[in-house]
Structure 1
Amino acid sequence: MRDRLERMLGTRVDALRDLGSSHSWTLHRASLADGREVFVKAASGAAREDGPAGAGVFAAEAAGLRWLGEAGPGTPVPEVLAADDRMLVLPWLPSASPTPSAAERLGRELAALHTRARPRLYGAPWDGFIADLPLDNTPDERDWPRWYAERRLEPFLRLGARHLSSGDVRLVERVMEDIESLAGPPEPPSRIHGDLWSGNIVWTGDRAMLIDPAAHGGHRETDLAMMALFGTPHLERVLAAYDEAAPLADGWRARVPLHQLHPLLVHVALFGTSYRASLVDAARAALG
């Protein structure tokens, strides 16, 4: 791994520290001879043989970060220093406690990301992943409600159905059937992070940076709903600053459960019945 990293970066690695593992990859901090500190995500031993990393997890993450960064100056995503099918290298982001001012800055920067350089279609021009599960990014000209139902809800409902009762499955299917009436006013596609839970926000002092995206052209309310799902520090300040910079459509808070259905189905597929009750509650709330 050290040799591979040196070839990718063109400099000597002086120190390489293990930071644990997540899904099908291991995490590391490397000190380079040129003085830089970098973060390294590498395919685990199993993934090197036949796991999802070989099918494009790192390429998708790198593409997503670069694509989000193309929204313009000040986009809160790190530079991709190097990437291949076994490794992703980013600058090391020193963490700090979240502050109200950093939260407000995140709201403004997220609003700019969502409203500048909008993509023409939902989806993205690369194969997507969320965690290590494939994510259908096929570009699609249809309106968001049917795209969301068919590209995000239905595939993960199939994956998670073994952990759900027939009544649970039927409840989510009702949401999919009524999606046009539940989705609110039409929204053009936005460049969204796609997996914006609090663990993918790195607070660095004066601002927050977004990592580990499942980036694609999607609905901007999706990122805000994901931030609320597992709790984000100073969330109300983030949302207030966002809404001031890019006002949200009436009723957006009532639509939060609808946008949370996809990540909850992902969690059911990955972790089983421990997320069943949250999924059922969100589906009922989405239906009103």
Structure 2
Amino acid sequence: MRGPGKDPASTGRGDHPRDPVTGTMAERLGVILGRPVRRAARAGSSHDWEISYAELDDGTRLFVKALPRRAPATGVLTAEARGLTWLGQAFGSPALRPLAWDERIVVLPWVAEDEPTPAAAERLGRQLAGLHLTGAAQYGAPWDGYIGPLPMDNTPSDHWPSFFAEQRLRPYLRHALDQGSLTPSDARVVERAVDSVAELAGPAEPPARIHGDLWSGNVLWRGSDAVLIDPAAQGGHRESDLAMLSLFGLPHLDRVRDAYNEVAPLAEGWRTRVALHQLHPLLVHVCLFGAAYRTTALDTARTALRGS
């Protein structure tokens, strides 16, 4: 999705789009930020929200996500803002902190992106380890969860295998089956993996403070470091973040992982569990984008069952 690193000068749109609730976006931002906003430019949409760029009177650039005028306030943007704030409370966290939000809008700093470097990747690995080690009270979170536009059950749990199976896998398997993106035969393949999570989970670990949607598009490279955006933040298993980084590829991923292991070594056998952790985002992709991800999801379920 379009993130805070794109150049607002490239939008080619007017400076005063109408706000989803009332007035221009610039006026709405001025209220929520408590300071004048020089201009705001609509830049398109992503999932169920609209994207704008804005500029304060001192030239500071902003990235804005807002629900459309007639859309109900589902809580998706509140979950994003609360998640970023929670991740940002960890010492040295790479999460991008929101500047302001309400139930219909979230305002973030605009990030000037650079090319990823090995040094920045190593710093990200160390920061990610520190974020995970900060921990969480339980698996889940004390707010309603979303991954992209899809609701995500954050009911707190003390047992990761059942939490992962029943709150991260089975709901999206049912959704994909109900919408016809997976057949009943497909669902049985995935169901075997879901039913086997306890045997496949590896050594027990305490809840980690994880991003929860850490694909490469949610990593913005900025000079000597990186910042993380668009989380599905939760108490979860730290291997889930690392598995998702490898799902769609990340520049210098080996550097990230090596630096991570220097701070917080992964448990023995972690490589055999990558597919298990990747099954959640893949089922989400099947729900969002249909059968295009069907084959990958089924292959990943089979690989998870083999433990290889």
Please give the TM-score of this superposition, normalised by the length of structure 2: 0.89
Counterpart residue number, 1:37: 61
Deviations 1:97-126 (A, max 9, x none): 11110000000000000012x112100000
* Residues in 2 aligned to 1:112 and 1:201: alpha-carbon distance in whole angstroms: 16
Q: Given the alignment of the two structures, is residue 108 of structure 1 paired with residue 118 of structure 2, yes or no?
A: no
Distance 2:282 2:222 in 1: 28
Over 3 Å off, 4+ runs: none
* Contact 1:14–1:30 (8 Å) recurs in 2: yes
Show the 5 A alignment for 1:52-131: 54-72=73-91, 74-116=92-134, 118-131=135-148
Task: Provide the identity percentage.
Answer: 57
Cα offset for 1:20? 2.2
| Aligned-partner SS, 1:150 | helix
**Residue of structure 1 in register with 2:209 after alignment:** 191
Contact in 1 for aligned 2:26/2:38 (Cα 8 Å)? no
Shift of 1:61: 0.5
**Aligned 8 A contact 2:26 2:54 in 1:** no
Partner of 2:16: none
Q: CA–CA distance in 2 between the matches of 1:239 and 1:67?
A: 23
Pairs within 5 Å for 1:140-151:
140-141=157-158, 143-151=159-167
Deviation of the 1:255 alpha carbon: 0.6
Number of aligned positions between the proteins:
280
1:26 matched to 2:44? The reply is no
Structure 1 length as normaliser, TM-score? 0.95
Q: 1:55-107 CA deviation, whole Å, 9 max, x = no partner?
A: 101110111011111122x1011221110111100111110111110000000
Tell me the secondary structure at the aligned position of residue 104 of structure 1.
Answer: helix
Counterpart in 1 of 2:303? 285
- Secondary structure (helix, strand or coil) at the match of 1:250 reads coil
Q: Distance in 2 between matches of 1:56 and 1:255?
A: 32
- 1:247 aligned residue: 265
User: Aligned to 1:49, what secondary structure does the other structure show?
Assistant: coil
CA RMSD of aligned residues (A): 1.0
| C-alpha separation in 2, matches of 1:267 and 1:153 | 12
How much has 1:10 moved relative to structure 2?
Answer: 1.6
CA drift at 1:15? 2.1
Shift of 1:18: 2.7
Which amino acid is 1:49 matched to? A
SS of equivalent residue, structure 1 residue 212: coil
Aligned residue among 160, 169, 174 for 1:158: 174
Alignment partners' CA distance in 2, 1:18 and 1:203: 24
